[in-house]
Amino acid sequence: MSECVFCDIVAKQAPASVVYEDHHTLGFMDFYPATTGHVIVIPKAHASNLAALPLGAEESIASAGRKIGDAMYTSLQCEGLNWVVADGVVAGQEIFHAHLHLVPRYTNDGFGFRYPPGYPQEIPRDQLDDTASSILNAL
Ligand SMILES: [Zn+2]
């Protein structure tokens, strides 16, 4: 057993209900599903968060998510699907092996997101431009 439960699942040293596997990614049922059919998609190689992933690894995760998501619509008859990545403690990440949540949605399922107090608040264009420039400059 390693110190990472997701690495243990990849190594088949911990049980999981696997729904998808390819050379780079693994998809399995969340142990504590937010809704019925909640799936976790992980890179097989350990990376604590998105920034630690080798560049391009996100493409394998997204591709697997698309395939699994399509199958979830068919098999679960879900009405929608949330892709959720909690990256970092303040974003709610609890297991520090990068992962994508695929949360199937059903009418009145009780799952949702909470916006901060005061939302929505219109931000002046010059502030949006400043923030955009900051991100662009970091790319
Ligand atoms: Zn790991």
The domains found in the chain, sorted by start residue, are 5-138 (3.30.428.10)
Residue 96 CA, ligand 1 centroid: distance in Å: 7
Residue 67 CA, ligand 1 centroid: distance in Å: 23
* Confidence band of 119 (pLDDT split at 50, 70, 90): very high
pLDDT of residue 4: 97
Buried b (16+ CB within 10 A) or exposed e, 48-78: ebbeebeeebeebbeebbebbbebbeeebeb
* Confidence band of 138 (pLDDT split at 50, 70, 90): very high
Residue 51 CA, ligand 1 centroid: distance in Å: 14
Residue 70 CA, ligand 1 centroid: distance in Å: 26
Q: Average pLDDT of 42-60?
A: 95
Residue 129 CA, ligand 1 centroid: distance in Å: 38
Residue 60 CA, ligand 1 centroid: distance in Å: 16
Residue 77 CA, ligand 1 centroid: distance in Å: 31
Burial of 42 (0-12, 13-18, 19+ CB in 10 A): buried
Residue 40 CA, ligand 1 centroid: distance in Å: 13
Mean of the per-residue pLDDT values of the chain: 96
Sheet with strand 39-43: strands edge to edge = 18-21, 25-29, 39-43, 100-105, 80-84
* Confidence band of 2 (pLDDT split at 50, 70, 90): confident
Nearest to 75 by CA among 29, 43, 34: 29
Residue 104 has pLDDT above 90, yes or no: yes
Residue 116 makes CB contacts below 8 A (sequence gap 6+) with: none
Residue 48 CA, ligand 1 centroid: distance in Å: 7
Tokens of 79: 């009405």
Instruction: Provide the percentage of residues in the chain whose pLDDT is more than 70.
Output: 100
